[in-house]
Amino acid sequence: MLSQILQARETVLSGEPLSYEAALGLTEIPSVEIPYLAAAANEVREKFVGNHIESCALSNIKSGNCSEDCKFCAQSGHYKTDSPVYPQISVEEIVEQAKNAETMGASEFCMVSSGWGATNDREFSVVLEAVRRISSETKLFVDCSLGFMTSEQMVQLKDAGLYRNNHNLEASRDYFEKICATHTYQDRVNHVEMVRHYGIHPCSGGILGMGETPKDRVDLAFELARIGADCVPVNILNPRAGTPLGHVAALEPMEIIRYIALYRLILPKSTIKIAGGREVNLRDLQAMAMQAGANGLILGNYLTTMGRNPARDIQMLKDLGFEVK
């Protein structure tokens, strides 16, 4: 079995893509071999994206009441959850959060708004102004995740200084229809492709642990590679009470590490960013996950749940030998 890992390592380090069959094979190696897979992925990370960590702070600029029915999401208006619901916050509040994020050590700042076609004209002008101000008043890369945007909005955001737009595929094409009925997978794919078309770095990832199969996880990674995702947030489901996935059993931490490593081998040049659900699912293996090919993480709190103390994460990254801002 170790020969499968060595073969995959050699292939990817030589600049060749990992085949779909080889990736599927790596979903079956025994758990005891996962540290070897992680080590191979770490070498690939070192070769293709180096030692620098991208740390991203999130701002939930408008929360809850979303028209969509994504079964994992505490912000969907279709479910009764204890997630906060509030209208869009002001430019001043957003800029203040960004400055705090910079102080705590973040290299990126992402404004996230709940909803599909999340912004009306007034809300969009707030985002635009926030992008301009954060770009000029901080050294942060500025990102946003606003649901579906028009091409005109993309042009304006790019001109204002937007670096990345996040729009997750969330799952494989096959599995997506089991977790969302109000829009299609192709809608999401089209949006990411449009983001790239307008010269904004496309950030797109998914969620592990929603009941999908190993093949679904591999399929998602290949789809993300196909659409050219520059940054791939790997979330791990943190089941929210009141959502249809509120009782899904958690993945084992070593299984999560298997897929972080596999995502690095499938997407050698992308930022692999460990995102929501990290603390509750990986627990004491968070440092090991960072040695399995990841080169990014979300710093601080998530959209509707708490993260851990950013200073602890920065120390962990330094202890692992990463270059942190």
Q: Is the dihedral of CA 194, 196, 198, 201 positive or negative?
A: positive
Contacts 24+ apart (CB under 8 A), 7-10: 8/40, 8/265, 9/40, 9/43, 9/44, 9/265
Tokens of 284: 């004491």
Q: Which of 22, 73, 101, 179 binds ligand SF4 (CB under 6 A)?
A: 73
CB of 154 to ligand SF4, least distance (A): 18
Q: Which of 42, 55, 60, 76 binds ligand SF4 (CB under 6 A)?
A: 76
Our finding on whether 63 is near ligand SF4 (CB under 6 A) is no
49 CB burial (10 A radius; 0-12, 13-18, 19+): buried
CB of 72 to ligand SF4, least distance (A): 7
Q: Which of 55, 107, 114, 304 binds ligand SF4 (CB under 6 A)?
A: 114
How would you classify the pairing of strands 206-208 and 231-236? parallel
Rounded distance, CA 143 to CA 12, Å?
Answer: 29
Our finding on whether 116 is near ligand SF4 (CB under 6 A) is yes
* Binding segment (CB under 6 A) for ligand SF4, from list 69-77, 122-130, 132-140, 226-234: 69-77
CB of 319 to ligand SF4, least distance (A): 34
Our finding on whether 70 is near ligand SF4 (CB under 6 A) is yes
How would DSSP label each residue in 119-151?
--HHHHHHHHHHHHHHHHHSS-EEEEE-SS--H
Q: Which is nearer to ligand SF4, 83 or 107 (CB)?
A: 83
* Binding segment (CB under 6 A) for ligand SF4, from list 54-62, 113-121, 241-249, 273-281: 113-121
How would you classify the pairing of strands 296-299 and 271-274? parallel
Rounded distance, CA 188 to CA 70, Å?
Answer: 13
Our finding on whether 203 is near ligand SF4 (CB under 6 A) is no
CB of 18 to ligand SF4, least distance (A): 29
Site residues (vs ligand SF4, CB under 6 A): 66, 68, 70, 73, 75-76, 114-116, 147
